[in-house]
């Protein structure tokens, strides 16, 4: 089976970005870090090219980390392998209450 490719640029990141087309539910994705070390994640739903998959469980209200910094908070519990985007991530900026 051909493995798909995702990139995690910082050791602290809990999401990786998928750079393969046609990543479907139950597909295996090889996650590379900046040194080239690999781990494998099975995705629970389709993840489009350039979109993110969780590489660790993220509790509702916890920070979603990419580039070693917070890009938002989880609005529900997220499992390793879940697709992460605007449906389960809320920006911490520009919401009018911050």
Partner 1 sequence: MNFMGYMRPDGKVGARNHVAIIPSVVCANDVAQAIVRQVQGTVGYFHHQGCCQLPPDLERVTDTLCGLGCSPNVGAVLVVSLGCEGTDHKRLVETVAKTGKPVKAVNIQELGGASRAIAAGIDAAQELVIRISGLQRQPVNMSNVVMSIKCGASDATSGMASNCVIGYVADKLVDLGATVVFGETTEFIGAEHILARRAATPEVGKRIFEIVERMEMRAKSLGCDMRKGQPTPGNIEGGLSSIEEKSLGAIMKSGSRAIQGVLEYPDMITDQKGLWIKDTPGREPEILTGMACTGAQCMLFSTGRGAPQGFPSMPVIKVCGNPNTYERMQHDMDLNAGVIINGEKSIEQVGEEAFAKLLSVLSGEMTKNEAISYFNSIDIHTLGPVI
Q: Using CB under 8 A, which residues numbered 58 to 77 contact partner 1?
A: 64, 66-72
CB of 4 or CB of 26, closer to partner 1: 4
**CB proximity list for 72: less than 8 A, separation 6 or greater:** 63, 64, 89, 90, 91, 92
3-state helix, strand, coil in the chain (%, to 5): 0, 40, 60
* C-alpha torsion sign, points 74, 76, 81, 87: negative
Per-residue binder mask for partner 1 (CB under 8 A), 1-40, x = binder: ----x-x-x-------x-x----------x-xxxxx----
Task: Enumerate binding residues for partner 1 (CB under 8 A).
Answer: 5, 7, 9, 17, 19, 30, 32-36, 48-52, 64, 66-72, 84-86, 89-94
């Amino acid at each position: 089976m051909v493995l798909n490719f995702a990139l995690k640029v910082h050791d602290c990141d809990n999401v990786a970005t998928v750079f393969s087309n046609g990543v479907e539910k139950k597909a295996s994705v090889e996650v590379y870090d900046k040194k080239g070390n690999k781990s494998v994640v099975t995705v629970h739903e389709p993840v489009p090219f350039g979109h993110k998959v969780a590489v660790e469980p993220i509790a509702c209200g916890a920070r979603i980390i990419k580039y070693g910094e917070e890009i938002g908070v989880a609005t529900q519990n997220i499992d390793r392998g879940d697709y992460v985007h605007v449906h389960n991530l809320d920006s911490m900026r520009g919401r009018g209450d911050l």
